[in-house]
Structure 1
Amino acid sequence: MTSTETDLNPLLAERLAALEPTQLDLIDESHLHAGHAGAQGGARHFRVRILSNRFQGLGTLARHRLVYDCVRDLMPHPLHALAIEAGLPPTEGLS
């Protein structure tokens, strides 16, 4: 599989669907890392913003591990780096 944006976004979304996200934003930041050694050969840099109830009771490190577990086989190519923002969905109806 090539590492073009058009095929990596859906692949990441498919893998992260295992976490049952209520919100998922995938931002390709590869252009910010042009010339970086890890970007050689077309490897990509992404930022993931994900909200999921699966993160309930987990600290930051455990949340990040869950995300990495979903995409482990894509690293280091076609995915070189992943910046993760993982949180819980907002709770409705609380006053």
Structure 2
Amino acid sequence: MNPERVARIREILTEALVPVVLEVNDDSHKHAGHAGARGGQGHFSVTVVSDAFAGKLPLARHRLVYAALGDMMTTDIHALTITAKAPDEVA
């Protein structure tokens, strides 16, 4: 587990998307021995609820997350599972 990466992902997504809900999990331990894990990159999952996603299709939402994370997608993150919703889609 890499708490520094989790904190950085959280910081970046908070600044870029101003979420009302943000969960960031380091799932790297589930992928020990995987090529990305051997290279030092991690596997993460994020749940983001943000007004930034209102009216956008899932692909556009994912692109917003990828764009916000920028270089981290090539230097720190090997795999990213994204759950992205607008506030009115959450019960």
Asked if TM exceeds 0.5, the reply is yes
Q: Which residue of 1 aligns with 2:9?
A: 12
Give the match for residue 87 of structure 2: 89
Residues 12-40 of structure 1, C-alpha deviations (whole Å, 9 max, x = no match): 01110110100000011101111111111
Instruction: Tell which structure's C-alpha radius of gyration is larger.
Output: 1
1:41 Cα shift?
Answer: 2.8
- Greater helix content: 2
Residue of structure 1 in register with 2:26 after alignment: 28
Count of residue pairs brought into register by the alignment: 88
Identity %: 45
1:76 paired to 2:74: yes
Q: Where in structure 2 are there 5+ consecutive unaligned residues?
A: none
**Structure 1 segments (4+ residues) deviating >6 Å:** none
Q: TM-score, normalised by structure 1?
A: 0.85
Kindly report the root-mean-square deviation, in angstroms, between the aligned alpha carbons of the 2 structures: 1.4
Contact 2:66 2:73 in 1 (8 A): no
Distance 1:32 1:72 in 2: 24
